[in-house]
Amino acid sequence: MSVWWRLLGYLRPYRGTMAIALVAMVLLALATGAYPAMLDLLTSMLFPDAASGPSNLERALEDLTRGLGFLGLSFDRPAVALWLKGAIIPLFVVVVLAKVVAQAVRFYAMGYLGTRVIHDLRGHLYQSLLAQDASYFDDQATGFLVSRVMNDVAQVERAATYALPILIGDALKVVTLSAVCLFQYPELSLVSLIVTPLAIFPIVRFGKFLKRYAKRAQEGLGLLTHRITETVGGIRVVHAYGREGYELERFLADSRAYMAVNMKSVLVRAVQTPAMELIGVLALLLTLGYAFDKVESGEIRAAEVVAFLLALVLLYEPLKAIGRLNGILMPGVASAERVFQVIDRPPLIIDGPGARPFSGVPEQVHFQGVGFRYREDRDPVLEGFELVLPRGQVVALVGPSGGGKSTVAAMLPRLYDPTHGRITVDGVDLKDLTLESWRAQIAMVAQETYLFDDTIMANIAYGRPGATQAEIEAAAQKAYAHDFIQKLPSGYATRVGERGVQLSGGQRQRLAIARAFLRDAPILILDEATSALDVESEREVQAALDALLQDRTALVIAHRLSTIRRATEIVVLERGKIVERGTHQSLLERNGLYARLIAMGEAR
């Protein structure tokens, strides 16, 4: 389906406004087309030239006389002529006012449509991004995605707001004015039309170049956005290693590449506009050269030439706008294609056919022969993984880095699905449950605590938006966060900054734990949940976590011995395979990998 047909589909909810805009465009085109004819009448009245034959007014009266005579009717021709002469100026004023009003209505209606359509498109795009699975974001740079939502959609907005009035409104003007010229001044029109085919070449030829350069420009802008996002996100590392000059040079190199593509687009537009103007001037000179002898011989009235030249001038503006259309339209088309690439990508993690909501409390989660790899061309992260998470039990995953522990934790809430095998809850495959209902059973505290640039209260309540102030404070107290929150300038209303930069690592971790407390879900995932806490804080939070873990299924990834030794079962992973499992004491007695990790301080 054409990109523009798809964009036009976003107009359906606003058919009424579109109808108003179309009526305004038609009225504007008709009023514009009436200008030359009315100027002809006025000129004929002010400067009558009997030698040049009857004026448009006289010809109109003759046509009216013949028409009424055919019907057996008649009218007082001198009286009607006198009335028309008196009414022509007020009628001209009415036409001008109609044109002004129609232009204002068209501008507002099209602006409204463009704004609403782009709002809906951006919302649809953002919804599609939110629905994408974790693997999609693993392969996409944040800056490129930001560029799609902001820069690409902005280009589509520009095209929708400005291109549609040109495609419809200016095209109607061209048709109306061309019709006036052909019917009123056929001889002069045929002369000027000799150069009209020349206008097609710059529109078509330059359009191909503009689309190509527009696509490259949007890709370059996406790279620039990515560069800025990445550098600002890692600014502390940049400063710490003194790499400001290096990052500046990388940014300038990307900016120069973007500038080079933009300059090619500017060059095409710079040539296109004068080319269109040259064609217009040629048409005007041809017409004047032909009309000069005709006026002298009396074959054409001077008023006709003046009116026709006005029509040509009025016709030139919409033609020039249509000529410039490629410069607006092609970047919009290229950007729309990039936007629809995201919208059209089906997410990999979806509800299975006939998926039903989960109800009750999960009694047992079972990883059955699970294998997983992030990409087909990479080695598997998990192979033949078997694990049972019984209700009310704490299962800990330990092992060297890269063993697959965090992957297991990510698969439990279906951030990823197994490449092989399956995960079931009480015998039901997770794919047969709705994502929303299953994820509602899970609270998670990850190693990298993510806080939004919002208040402390909003961050704690993120997993339970309807929570009361008292419930939020109770969760913070359980996570030993209430005291430090109270000492902040605005307490729970304090904004934490992007990624929580206003807080220390330990404070951010406690807020994440408070969020999990408030969620009060039957399944808990702790991925290094106490890694950022000092010994004293860990002791306090660990006591709270012990209370939280009661009668809940828990999957814990931890290095600290204080967390591991409380687990009902410890599973040791190495290179995606389970090499040991048992309790803390039994694994120590086995003197295998787990014992070596303890001795080396990998689990402490």
42 Cβ partners below 8 Å, 6+ apart?
A: 88, 89, 92
Is residue 192 scored above 50 in pLDDT?
yes
Work out the number of other CB atoms within 10 angstroms of the CB of residue 354.
6
CB burial readout 67-104, b (16+ within 10 A) else e: eeeeeeeeeeeeeeeeeeeeebeeebeebeeebeebbe
Mean pLDDT of the chain: 77
Residue 70, in any domain of the structure? yes
Q: What is the number of helices (H) and of strands (E) in the chain?
A: 23, 10
Residue 394, in any domain of the structure? no
Residue 153, in any domain of the structure? yes
Residue 424, in any domain of the structure? no
Predicted pLDDT at 496: 85
50 or 324: whose pLDDT is higher? Answer: 324
Which two structure tokens, joined as six digits, stand for 558? 């931890």
What predicted TM-score, i.e. pTM, was given to this entire model?
A: 0.72
47 is in which domain, residue-wise? 3-343
Residue ranges in 450-504 assigned as alpha helix (H): 456-460, 469-478, 482-487
Q: Beta partners for 365?
A: 389, 425
Nearest-10 Cα torsion for 305, 307, 309, 311: -140
**Confidence band (pLDDT; 50, 70, 90) for 470?**
very high
**Confidence band (pLDDT; 50, 70, 90) for 457?**
very high
311 or 379: whose pLDDT is higher? Answer: 379
Predicted pLDDT at 171: 75
Predicted pLDDT at 152: 82
Residue 157, in any domain of the structure? yes
- Convert the pLDDT of each residue in 34-51 to its tens digit: 767 676 666 666 555 544
> What is the 8-class DSSP label of residue 601?
T
> What is the 8-class DSSP label of residue 375?
S
486 Cβ partners below 8 Å, 6+ apart?
A: none
- Convert the pLDDT of each residue in 100-141 to its tens digit: 898 888 888 888 888 888 888 888 888 888 888 888 887 777
- Convert the pLDDT of each residue in 483-493 to its tens digit: 889 988 889 99
Residue 131, in any domain of the structure? yes
CA 387, CA 374: separation in Å to the nearest integer? Answer: 20
Residue 107, in any domain of the structure? yes
Give the CATH number of the domain where residue 95 resides: 1.20.1560.10
Predicted pLDDT at 94: 82
Predicted pLDDT at 438: 92
Predicted pLDDT at 604: 42
Distance between first and last Cα of the chain:
59
**Confidence band (pLDDT; 50, 70, 90) for 81?**
low
Lowest mean pLDDT among 44-53, 173-182, 232-241: 44-53
163 or 350: whose pLDDT is higher? Answer: 350
CA 402, CA 188: separation in Å to the nearest integer? Answer: 81
Q: How many distinct structural domains can be found in the chain?
A: 1
Average pLDDT score over residue span 543-557: 78
Nearest Cα to 434, choosing from 355, 360, 523, 354? 355
Residue 305, in any domain of the structure? yes
What backbone phi and psi angles, to 5 degrees, belong to 112? -65, -45
271 Cβ partners below 8 Å, 6+ apart?
A: 202, 206
111 Cβ partners below 8 Å, 6+ apart?
A: 161
Lowest mean pLDDT among 59-73, 227-241, 348-362, 513-527: 59-73
